[in-house]
Amino acid sequence: MCAALAGVGWYYAGEILNVEVPSEPEYDTRVVAVGDGRVTLQDTADTRSPGTVGLDAPDAYAQAGKILAADDDGVTRRLNVLDGELKQGDLVDVDGYAFPQDPDAAFEFPVTEVRVPAPLGEQPAWLADAPGRRWAVLVHGRAARRNECFRMVPILHQLDVTSLCISYRNDRGGPVDPDRIYRQGATEWEDVEAGVRYALDHGANDVVLVGYSMGGQITANFLRRSDLAAEVSGVIWDGPALDWGPAIAAGADDRGVPGWLVPIGMQGSEWRAGIDYDDLNQVTHADAFKHPILLFHGDADASVPVSVADRFAAARPDLVTYVRVRGAGHVRAWNANPSRYRRAVRRFIAGLD
């Protein structure tokens, strides 16, 4: 019996640590009608998502904004086409990225791909130059594409902040961990350090860190461990996985994994990856942080429970500006209310001067 439990725990530990690739678009939602700055979509839970969502078609990309009507004919929303032409009858993938993967299609300002020297090899990154000497290093979440950061880039560009959207070990197109597993931020922070060093070497006076989901955990470890943390002026986190226990438990519940297996799998993943979840619990280490933090978290987040952000914000009210977003899912704070999100970022960045 003990051997069987150990085997199951070891297998589940692998599920916790195994590298996940970003999901491919699922073109499963029909465009019912298009015209006059509006789009009517097949009625689904995704097309009724509040705020702004992306519509990814094979030959087009658009943003669907405010819901104007919803009835038996479908869900009608405001439409902003970013690339190509969206047509009646098209099948689209409704996503939270809200911007296409190609930065030339996403933005009216130039974005180039650069290579960032890092401990395991060169890593690809998107660079959006701006006139100011402040840079932002943006870090996407687990199993997310680099363009997860694109919702933030136009806000920063308007503030004359240069954006560097980095990748990290195990990302597509870059170096991999020697064991081809995640180490839950315990080593990935070194790749953020490489991004910060690149910014400083290319003219940055100071750096703002932006982390989504696991990117929040990774940047938190950078702040606690790197000598270059002294070059950071502020931090923005969106749905950050600051405590792995609740996040892993939420993922287990979503997949039907019994709750009793979670601590066994976590212990097994500690052994396999050489990590310590107590050390990676940023809430219990909240007193180690020194930088101003703008923290976004949706109260409908099913991946990283909002209670994690609640606890961190309560632990450091002197540092944290907390924006708790009603009805927003995982890293969907921008989507729920883009205008409110932009205002919060602008105020925060202005306060760093």
pLDDT of residue 184: 95
Start and end residues for every CATH 2.40.30 domain found in the chain: 29-95
45: DSSP letter: T
Residue 72 — very low, low, confident or very high, per pLDDT cuts 50/70/90? confident
The average pLDDT across 3-13 equals 62
Start and end residues for every CATH 3.40.50.1820 domain found in the chain: 103-351
CA–CA distance, 312 with 310 (Å, rounded to integer): 6
pLDDT tens string 118-172: 999 999 999 999 999 999 999 999 999 999 999 999 999 999 999 999 999 999 9
Instruction: Select the more confidently predicted residue: 73 or 290.
Output: 290
Residues 103-351: name the CATH superfamily: Alpha/Beta hydrolase fold, catalytic domain (3.40.50.1820)
277: DSSP letter: T
User: Token digits for 86?
Assistant: 């969206």
The partner residues of 138 in beta bridges, in order of sequence, read 165, 210
Radius of gyration of the chain (CA): 20
Closest by CA to 306, choosing from 293, 297, 314, 315, is 297
CA–CA distance, 142 with 140 (Å, rounded to integer): 7
Residue 111 — very low, low, confident or very high, per pLDDT cuts 50/70/90? very high
User: Nearest 5°: CA angle at 71, between 70 and 76?
Assistant: 35
**55 phi/psi in degrees, rounded to 5:** -120, 105
- CATH number of the structural domain 29-95: 2.40.30
pLDDT of residue 87: 96
Closest by CA to 169, choosing from 239, 228, 230, 122, is 122
Closest by CA to 280, choosing from 241, 227, 234, is 241
Count the neighbouring beta carbons within 10 Å of the beta carbon of residue 258.
10
The partner residues of 157 in beta bridges, in order of sequence, read none
Q: Give the CA distances from residue 151 to residues 54, 83, 112, 173, 318, in Å, rounded to whole numbers and listed in that order.
A: 11, 16, 17, 22, 27
Helix axes of 261-273 and 244-255: crossing angle, nearest 10 degrees: 120
If you average pLDDT over every residue of the chain, what do you get?
95
